[in-house]
Amino acid sequence: MKTIHIIGVPLDLGGGRRGVDMGPSAMRIAGLGEQIASLGHTVVDRGDLPSPIPETLGLRDEHKKYIRDIAKVCQKVYQTSLGSLDEGAMPLVLGGDHSIGAGSVAAAAEWARRTKDLPIGLLWVDAHGDMNTPATSLSGNVHGMPLSAVMGYGIEELHDLFGFKPKVEPQNVVLVGVRDLDTHEKKFIKKLGVKAFTMRDIDERGMREVMSDALKYAMDDTDGIAISLDMDFVDPADAPGVGTPVRGGVTYREAHLAMEMIADSEAMVSMEIVEINPVIDEHNRTALLAVELALSGLGKKIL
């Protein structure tokens, strides 16, 4: 059994569609803390980290919108998550948009580097690559850039945070479920040697085989893995309330199997769940599923 620290980050600056700031509340309303505790884990809810809203902010850089404010929130995510890890707890970070991954992944990386002198592995479970940079992004939305930042590229305000880079080596990063990649991201993945399992891989090989390989790559010569779960990984038929829905995602059971296999690996150091948008959801379905997936990742068994 583990001690789980729930850390809410209602950040809504990184994307083009408003509403993901309500994601942490939606998951709590869906019974996240109580259900994790029912598995036998100790749960501490550390509340929400302060996150500004666009209405309170001034001019923005159109190539990396609201980057200074996003970087400040990521600094808080890093400090809070690292504090939980230092206390022997597993941080469960609730977004908010995916730009917070720059802070949560960095915390797991620093903890592994400092305590084990080993790198961290990273499973980026997402419909998108999130490997754009200010020079390649057409929108300037920072939630499409955090993975490149943790690998030491792109936004200097993020990859230069916390005094070390890269946070994660490209060979220790695995993408799962991608189906909407920009041209630059495709080239970047191949150039850096990032392992990427697309929806075609899942269709042809099945989730069990894909996750077996993904975990093997992420765990190879690392001290555990950080999980970054964007709920748009799941098909909109089962998860309609997400920041950037993309048709053709994984099914309900495929998503659960992925998380169950993560639990079986016993390698998870930290987890974040991001991009739930209750504004476009249906009766909180997406948050309810997110809670279910968190439970599967934390060891809930069918039998």
Domain limits of the chain? 3-297
* Residue-level pLDDT at 16: 87
What is the full DSSP assignment across 108-144? HHHHHHHHTS-PPEEEEESSB-----TTT-SS--GGG
* Residue-level pLDDT at 57: 87
Stretch (H or E) spanning 227: strand 225-230
What CA–CA distance (Å, rounded) separates 43 from 159?
31
Residue of 41, 128, 159, 256 marked catalytic: 128
Residue of 21, 48, 110, 126 marked catalytic: 126
Active site residue 232: yes
* Residue-level pLDDT at 56: 87
Q: Pick from 183, 179, 110, 195: which is nearest to 150 by CA? A: 110
Active site residue 143: yes
Residue 217: partners with Cβ closer than 8 Å, 6 or more residues away: 121, 172, 174, 195
For 3-297, which CATH class?
alpha beta
Residue of 48, 130, 235, 272 marked catalytic: 130
Active site residue 275: yes
Active site residue 264: no
Active site residue 159: no
Residue of 69, 110, 272, 275 marked catalytic: 275
* Residue-level pLDDT at 58: 77
* Residue-level pLDDT at 239: 98
* Residue-level pLDDT at 55: 86
Which token pair is 43? Answer: 């749960």
- Does this model's pTM top 0.85? yes
* Residue-level pLDDT at 59: 66
Quick check: helix, strand or coil at residue 196? Answer: strand
Name the stretches of the chain with pLDDT < 70.
59
